[in-house]
Structure 1
Amino acid sequence: MKRSKQVLWLSYYAPPMGGSGVQRPVKFAKYLAKNGWNVHWVCPEEGSYPYRDQGLTQDLDSERIHLYRVGGGTPQHSIFGRWIQSMYYALPWKLAARLNSWLYFPDNKVGWAHEAHDKALELISTHQIPLLFVTAPPFSSFSLATTLAEETGAKLVLDLRDDWLENQFHQYATTSRRAQMAELEQRVCSKADAITVINEYTKANLAKRHPTLAERMRVIPNGFDPEDGFDLADESRRQHSETDPSIWVYNGLFYRQQNPSDVLKGFVQYIHDRPESRTKFVIQGDDGKRYRRVVQQAQDRFEWKGYLSHEASLHGLMQADVLWLHLSAMQHIDRVTPGKLFEYMGTGKPIFATIPEGVTAEMLRQYGPVSIVHSTRQEDIAQAVHAFEQQRLQQSLPPVNRSFVESFDRERLTHRLEQIFLNLAPES
C-alpha cells in the first residue's frame, strides 16, 4: 500500500495576504494538491500587512490544502504594527534596512518562527509527514525548518525566492552581522536535502559560496498560471492604428529601492516630443504619491491605479498594448527576476524594459518582442519609446518565442518540484 503524499508547508506569506511573495507558494500548493499531495501549510495571522487579496484564497480551495494560522510575533503583529510600519517607511530605505539588521536576526519576522514551531511539530507527528518545504524570504523561516528537520528526521527542501546573504535589499548594520548571516546560511543550507532557487544566477552565486552543496541545488523559476486567463493563442488582443491611443502598463509597486523617476521623465519627454502620439501610461499597483510631481507636466497621460487584486491586475495586463518592466541599478540586481516578468511574458505582449544587464535581460532576449534600455538619460528613454512604438505599429517586432514562454507554465514548474519531493520521500 502506498503512503499518502504529505508535505509540511512553511510560508510566512499566505492568502489573503497579497503581493508577489504569495504567488509562488500558492501556485505550487495548488498544483501539488491536484496531483494528490496533502499540503499542511503553517502561516501567521495577517497582522498589519498592508496588501490583501481575498481572491488568492480560491487557489487553495482544495480538500488537500490545510492552512494552520499561528500568532505572528513580529512588529507587524503588535498593537503598534501600523505605527511601526509608518515609521519604518518614513526613514531612508538604507537606514531602515540597517536598523532592521541591527534590531533583528536574521530578519524582523523571526518572531513568527517561534510561534510556528510547536504547531509544525504537532502536524508532523500527527500526520507522519516525511517532508518539509520552506520558502523564503523571510529567512527566519529557514531556521525554523532546519530545527524541525533535525528534531523529526523529515527531509528538508529550501526554496530561495531571492539570494540570501547577498540579497539586493539587505543592508548589514555591521560586518559582524554579515558574518553572522553567512554562518547561518552555511549551517542551514548544509542541512538541506534539496535547495530550489529561482534562476541560474542565484544558483551560481549560492554554489560559489557553498561549492560542496551545488549538487543539491535545482533551478525552478517563477511562472504564470494558464488558469488565470493567459492564452498565447488568443488573437483577440486590441489592435491599434497610428491614430488610436496606445496603452502602456506597469504592474506592481515601485519599491523605495527602485526609483523610476528618470524613466518617468523620459516618458514625459516622449509625450512632449511627439504631441501627435496619444500614448497613455497606466501604473497599476502603485498610488504614485512619490512620483506624481515627476510627471506633472503630462499628468493627463498618466493613470495611477494603486494596489489591485491579482485578478484585476491581470485584466489590466490583458488590455495593454505594451508592458513596462523596470529595475533600478543597485547591488546584486543582476540576479533578480521579478515575478511580474513571467506574467508579462505569459500575455505575449511587447515588453519595454528599463533594466540593467543581468538574468532578466537575458531572459527577455529569448522572449522576443522586447526593447531593453540600460540608459537612464531621459533623452535616450524618449527615443527608445518612439522607436519601439514605431516597430509595434509597423508590426515589425520579433515574434513571441512560444516554447520558451510555455516553459514557465506553473503546472509544469510544480511537476519539477514534485519530482524532487518524490526522490526524497517515495510513496512506498
Structure 2
Amino acid sequence: MKKVLIITYYWPPSGGAGVQRWLKFTRYLPENGWIPVVFTPENPEAPAEDRSLLDEVPDEVEVVKLKIWEPFEIYKKLTGRSKNSKINAGFLKEETGNSFAEKVSLWIRGNLFIPDAKRFWIRPSVKFLVKMLKEQKVDVIVSTGPPHSMHIIAEKVSKRTKIPWIADFRDPWTDIDFYDKLRLSGWADRMHHKLQLKVLKNADEVVIVGRNWAKGLQRHYSRKIEVITNGYDKADITTKHVKYPEKFSIVHVGSINADRNHSFFWASLEYCIENVDGFSEDFELMLVGKNDVSVTLDIRKYGLSKHVNFISYIPHNEVIAAEQKAAVLYLPLNNTPNAKGILTGKFFEYLASGRPIFAIGPVDGDLAHILNETGAGTISDFDDQEGMKKNLITFYKAFKNKSLTCKSENIRIYERSELTKKMVELFESVL
C-alpha cells in the first residue's frame, strides 16, 4: 500500500461544500491501494459544522492536525460581530449594510493576507511536515485549494523532500468569481499572479474540476491541466421510500450569494403564481442553506414569502433524501465572468437524486454540456426570463400529469469511486 499526504483546510467535522471532494476520495483510496494521511488545521474557521461526516472517514485514514492562527478575531471585532459568529464564504451577506469597517477589512484581506487569511499557517506547517516526512514515508503529496495557502505549503514541502506533488484546484485562483471584489492594489494583484504561476510551474500535476476552468489556468501558464470533476457517492443514494411529490416543490440546497440571486427567476415564479391555474396552490420553495440578504428582499418584492420555507442547514447524510422529495431541483450559477466553468459539487448529487434540474447559467458552459448529455434537466441563460417561464410551466404541467421524471443517463462516470480511480492513475503517473 502506498501513501498520499493530503493537505486540506476543510475536513470533518467542518461542513459545507469544501469538505466533500477529498473526504470522498479518501473513502475510496484504500480499496485502490493508497492509504491517505490527511493534514488539516486543529481549529479551523469553518462556515458550518457537520459531525455526521466523521462517520464517513475510513478507519485506514490517518488524520494529522496542527493549530492554526487566523486573523478572524480581529475581523469580528472590527466589524462588530460576536466571537462565535461564522464567516460566510463567497461574499454572502445575511444582513443589510455596507459599513466602513467592512470595506476596510476587505481591503486588508485582499492586500495584506496573500494568498488568503490562512497564510500564517504556511511556515509552521512546512516546518512540521518536513520533520514528519523524515520519519514517515509518503509517496505523493496533494494540496487542495482554495484556500490556496495549501498549495504554497505543498510547494515548499515538495521542494525540500523531493516528494512528487499534485495541486488540486476546486476553484480557480485569480479567475475566481469574487477576485475583482478584493480591492487589490497593483502590487497585491501581481503577488497573487506570481504565487499562482509558481504553483502552476512547479507542481508535477495540476488538476481542476472543469474544462473551461482548465483552459483558464492554461492562459496563465501553458501546461497540461487534468480535469477530474466533482461527483456523487453511490453509497449515499437510496431509492427506498421515494414517493412522487405531493406538492410542486422546488428545492435548492446550498448557499445563494448575490451573484447567484437572479431576479428573473423570482419574477418568473410570480408570473406562474398569477397566471397558471393551480400553480399557487401546489407550489412551494425550499431553500436549504444560507442566503444573501438580496434573496430575502427579492422574495418579498415578488410576493413569494408565503410559499418559501427557509432551512439553515441539514447534515450531509440527509441531503440526498431531501433532494429526492423535490419535484424540481433549482441550480443557479454565479453570474460572473467564470460562469461557463462552474460545476458545483451539489450539481452531481442533483444528478444522482433522480429529480429534474432547473438551472440558470450559460447555455454553452460545462454544466449545460452535462445537462444535455445526461438529459437531467433544463438550463436558461441569466437574462432569459421567457425561457425560465416556459421551463417552469412545462415542469408544472408534467407534475400535474404525474409524469415529472428525469432521465439522468450515463451518469456513472461521475460516481466518486470511478473518479477516485482517475485520481489514482494520476498518483501513479508522478512516481
**TM, length-normalised to structure 2:** 0.87
Deviating more after overlay: 100-109 vs 261-270: 261-270
Q: Structure 2 matches for 1:26-425, cutoff 5 A?
A: 26-62=23-59, 64-76=60-72, 83=82, 89=93, 91=98, 98-171=107-180, 172=182, 173-211=184-222, 213-214=223-224, 217-230=225-238, 234=239, 237-239=242-244, 244-277=246-279, 278-286=282-290, 290-296=294-300, 297-357=303-363, 358-376=365-383, 381-394=388-401, 400-403=407-410, 405-425=411-431
Gaps (5+ residues) in structure 1? Answer: none
Shift of the 55–332 alpha-carbon distance from structure 1 to 2, 3 Å rule, reads same
| Residue aligned with 2:10, SS | coil
CA distance in 2, matches of 1:271, 1:18: 35
Percent sequence identity is 23
User: Alpha-carbon deviation of 1:15?
Assistant: 0.7
User: Alpha-carbon deviation of 1:197?
Assistant: 1.0
Q: Is the 8 A contact 2:354 2:405 kept in 1?
A: no
Q: Is the 8 A contact 1:266 1:380 kept in 2?
A: no
Shift of the 152–78 alpha-carbon distance from structure 1 to 2, 3 Å rule, reads farther
Shift of the 180–293 alpha-carbon distance from structure 1 to 2, 3 Å rule, reads closer
User: Alpha-carbon deviation of 1:27?
Assistant: 0.6
**TM, length-normalised to structure 1:** 0.87
Shift of the 259–399 alpha-carbon distance from structure 1 to 2, 3 Å rule, reads closer
Deviating more after overlay: 287-296 vs 119-128: 287-296
Q: Deviations over 1:136-185 (max 9, x none)?
A: 10111111100000100000001011122211121251233222222211
**Matched residue count:** 411
Q: Is the 8 A contact 1:47 1:76 kept in 2?
A: no
User: Alpha-carbon deviation of 1:58?
Assistant: 1.2
User: Alpha-carbon deviation of 1:38?
Assistant: 2.1
Gaps (5+ residues) in structure 2? Answer: none
CA distance in 1, matches of 2:415, 2:207: 17
CA distance in 1, matches of 2:23, 2:420: 11
Q: Is the 8 A contact 1:369 1:397 kept in 2?
A: no
Q: Is the 8 A contact 2:8 2:145 kept in 1?
A: yes
User: Alpha-carbon deviation of 1:366?
Assistant: 1.2
CA distance in 2, matches of 1:293, 1:206: 36
Shift of the 77–423 alpha-carbon distance from structure 1 to 2, 3 Å rule, reads farther
User: Alpha-carbon deviation of 1:195?
Assistant: 1.1
| Residue aligned with 2:259, SS | coil
User: Alpha-carbon deviation of 1:414?
Assistant: 0.5
